[in-house]
Structure 1
Amino acid sequence: MFRYFVRRVLQGVLTFFGATFFMYALVFANQQDPLQALAGERPLPENVRQVLTERYHLDEPFIAQYGHYMRGLLTGDFGTSLTNRKISDMMADAWPVTIRLAVLAVIISAVIAITAGIVSGIRRGGPFDTTTLVITLILLSLPIVVLAPLAQLIFGVQLQWLPATSGADPGLYHLLLPAVVLACLVIATQIRVTRASVAENLRSDYVRTARAKGLTTRRVIGVHVLRNSLIPVVTLIGVDLGNLMAGAIVTEQVFNIPGVGFNLSQGIRTEDGPRVVGFVTILVIVFLVVNLVVDLLYAVLDPRIRYE
């Protein structure tokens, strides 16, 4: 287990540097005149332009800019946004909001997907299974750019069941509707994977043996089938974290949530390279850590799995 952990950490370090390099290259290639984009239609004085150009190393080649960024990053300095705010301070304000939103979305999707997937897997071909498959097909066909404003219009504006916008410091109640929208991004896939995994395990030899020993159906499903069926679901939840973060860019913009996605959207719109790079760097770290934790959980869920 220790060797596997060290190997995965080393692979994560290489992935981190590769991802940040390509991401920084994309931001660098996409920049046209970020200082003028920040100023808008107002003319930017030449002396101000010169000072800002030297401060953000915009007159230096790409490799030199990337070197400045990595030196600061390794010392815990994420740099300064073009709005003259420390990116670390912006992260301190944005990350708690996005974490609450993502955790709420994961809980909603996991509870609904696991419950519906188990029932569908046990009662394949029944009315519940057919209805669930139709609903998942509809959810898979709706992109987040359609689903988010549609949910806001129906449940937030017309029915007024939930707040249509979240505001500056949203609580769990204000994040409920955007969390449900985010959960819809991944819940359909999780239901189908859970259903297929449960149905496959119900046909396994160890299930027939457990039933032959006289174990109750509740014990067979709850102890044996469910534990083995959760392995691909846990994997999928870890992978879906990236989809939730990507969907948060649109969702936070629609529901006016001042989180990571909102800051990334603002940074892309204003060509604020330092802000975009800083936030994406943390997203890369989060994605690597979550995938490592998910892989280590395999051995906990299935004693047959050992990492040598």
Structure 2
Amino acid sequence: MFRYIVRRLLQMVLTFFGATFLVYALMFANQDDPYQALVGERPLSESQRIALNAQYHLDDPFLVQYWHYVRGLLTGDLGTSLTQRRPISEMLAEAWPITIKLALLAVLIAAVIAVSAGVLSGIRRGGVFDNVTLVITLIVLAMPVVVLAPVAQVVFGVQLGWFPVTVTRDAGLWDLLLPALVLGTLVIATELRVTRSSVAENMRADYVRTARAKGLTNKRVIGAHVLRNSLIPVITLIGVDIGALMSGAIITEGVFNIPGVGFNLFRGIRAEDGPLVVGFVSVLVIVFLVINLIVDLLYAALDPRIRYE
């Protein structure tokens, strides 16, 4: 296990540098005028050019610029936002709590609905519930969050008044429930289908027939054997989906005006605030890598047959 963790950590380091390098290159390397790219469409004076050059080392080769950025990132210095004139680390510290609450609530809602419905569909494969569930998942997959979010806001927030239309920084779980439901639709359909397929496959496995031959009840067979083995691919998918929810939060937080990571990243992209975008995306890359490592380490706990050595 120790060697596996070390190997994965080395892979994470390579992935981190590769991802941050691509993001940094996309934001700065291909710009004809990197100074103007930093400030957007605003007029730029010579004194401002000198200040930007001193701050971002724009007269150095691109790889040297990237090294200066990584060195600051590893020491916790994410730079300063050009549009907000505030340290990016400070903005990130304010935005993370509400985004974490939104993402965890969305993951919880998606997992409960997807696993419950997926298990029932897998047990009763080919039945009415299974067919209805498959149709609903197709409808959900066909509706992108960029459409679903404003529709849910208008229907449930404006017309019915069940939920607040916008969310403040100190919002409670009820205020975040509608955005979390919208955000969770990104992954509910996929998780449900994976759970259904995994349960249906395990229901036909030899160990299930052996357990039933020993006289175990159907509830015991499903709970202790089928469900535990079926959750392995679902746990993997949930770990990957957390990254998808982080990216999907850009649209959801933008529609509901939630002052989280996605909202600030969306605002930074629109304002062409390069340091803000690169800083926020780099932190999201780190979060995604750590979550995937944790998910991989959970495999052995779910299935003792899995060994990394």
What's the TM-score once normalised by structure 1's chain length?
A: 0.95
Deviations 1:150-189 (A, max 9, x none): 1111111111111111123322111111100110000000
- Equivalent positions of 1:141-220 (< 5 A) are 141-220=142-221
Whole-angstrom CA distance in 1 between matches of 2:149 and 2:30:
28
Alpha-carbon distance in structure 2 between the residues aligned to 1:281 and 1:115: 35
Contact 2:98/2:169 (8 A) holds in 1: no
Partner of 1:120: 121
Letter in 1 for 2:79: G
| 1:47 aligned partner, one-letter code | S
Q: Say whether the 8 Å CA contact 1:34–1:270 is kept in structure 2.
A: no
Distance 2:298 2:61 in 1: 43
User: Is it true that 1:253 corresponds to 2:254 in the alignment?
Assistant: yes
Q: How does 1:98-109 map to 2 (within 5 A)?
A: 98-109=99-110
Task: Number of aligned residue pairs: give it.
Answer: 305
2:63 aligned residue: 63
**Greater mean alpha carbon deviation, residues 219-228 or residues 68-77:** 68-77
Q: What letter is aligned with 2:78?
A: F
What's the CA shift string for 1:187-235, capped at 9, x where partnerless? 0000000011111100011101111111001000011000000000000
Q: Which runs of 5+ in 2 are unaligned?
A: none
Q: Are 2:226 and 1:225 equivalent residues in the alignment?
A: yes
User: For residue 76 of structure 1, what is the aligned residue in structure 2?
Assistant: 76
* 8 Å contact kept, 1:170–1:257: no
Contact map agreement 2:202 2:230 (CA 8 A) in 1 = yes
- In 2, Cα distance between the equivalents of 1:65 and 1:236? 36
Q: Which runs of 5+ in 1 are unaligned?
A: none
What is the CA RMSD across the aligned residues, in angstroms? 1.5
In the aligned structure 1, how far is the partner of 2:246 from the partner of 2:200?
31
Q: Which moved more, 1:48-57 or 1:190-199?
A: 48-57
Alpha-carbon shift at residue 64 of structure 1 (Å): 2.5
The amino acid that maps onto 1:55 is: Q
State how far apart, in whole Å, the 2-side matches of 1:171 and 1:62 are: 44
Alignment-derived partner of residue 266 in structure 1? 267
**TM-score normalised to structure 2 length:** 0.94
SS of alignment partner, residue 193 of structure 2: helix
Residue aligning to 2:244: 243
Q: Whole-Å Cα distance in 2 between the matches of residues 35 and 297 of structure 1?
A: 42
Q: Confirm or deny: 8 A CA contact 1:253 1:261 kept in the other structure.
A: yes
For the 8 Å contact 2:38–2:274, the answer to whether it is kept is: no
Confirm or deny: 8 A CA contact 1:80 1:274 kept in the other structure: yes
1: CA distance between counterparts of 2:38 and 2:4? Answer: 46
Aligned to 1:27: 27
